[in-house]
Amino acid sequence: MSFPKLLNRLFLGPRVTEKQESFLKTDEEFETVGAELKSIVINLYGGRSLRIRAVDGGSTNAEEIELTALNNAYYDIDRFGLSFVASPRHADMVWVTGPVTRNLERAVRTTYEAAPEPCIVVAIGDGACTGGIWKDSYAVVGALDKVIPVHIKIPGDPPTPTQILRGVLNALKQSSSK
């Protein structure tokens, strides 16, 4: 196909992307939850971001894909005052995904112990919440609460970005009421 034909097809051809109406409703909910979350983060942390350390306890990476989506240009959770950090020593909140495997049990515990107090722990996904379909496996310790204390559980396989944001909002509401 020649270059002029290609340009003509791209600009004058049929639309091949989703219609905006098909995802506007979920975007609206995400924006509403995000705005509420932003006001709580500003009040709790004095204008700085809530710092999050994400830990994979042995998941299938489905949850990590959703966490990555939260950080992309479409969702952009930085605008709501949430940011990921590389070290648990800088974290206000620890997100753990997947059932805790025997090989990663020590890493999960060490991450939690390295985080400054008070640290909010969030279990993301069915694996972290209940052990998932792997709970009876010889290689799995089980759900996250068998290893470290959990403040809030966000079930789903995987949970959507909106569900994750709503869970974080609930965790912050619980911690601010104490």
137: left (phi over 0), alpha (psi -120 to 50) or beta: beta
Mean pLDDT of 61-79: 93
Tokens of 88: 């648990």
Q: What is the pLDDT of residue 69?
A: 94
Q: How many angstroms separate the CA atoms of 172 and 162, rounded?
A: 15
pLDDT tens sequence across 133-147: 999 999 999 999 999
- The H or E element spanning position 148 is none
**Closest by Cα among 70, 77, 74 to 97:** 70
pLDDT score at 4: 83
Query: What is the enclosing helix (H) or strand (E) of 39?
Result: helix 21-45
Q: What percent of the chain shows pLDDT beyond 90?
A: 76
Check residue 176 and give its pLDDT.
77
Name the residue with tokens 């640290």.
119
- For residue 99, the model assigns a pLDDT of 96
Tokens of 155: 């079930």
For 6, the token pair is 């290609």
pLDDT given for residue 6 in this prediction: 81
Nearest-angstrom CA–CA distance, 54 and 80: 17
* Cα R_g (the chain), whole angstroms: 19
Domain residue extents for the chain? 23-177
Tokens of 97: 């995904």
Class of domain 23-177: alpha beta
Confidence of residue 25 (pLDDT cuts 50, 70, 90): low
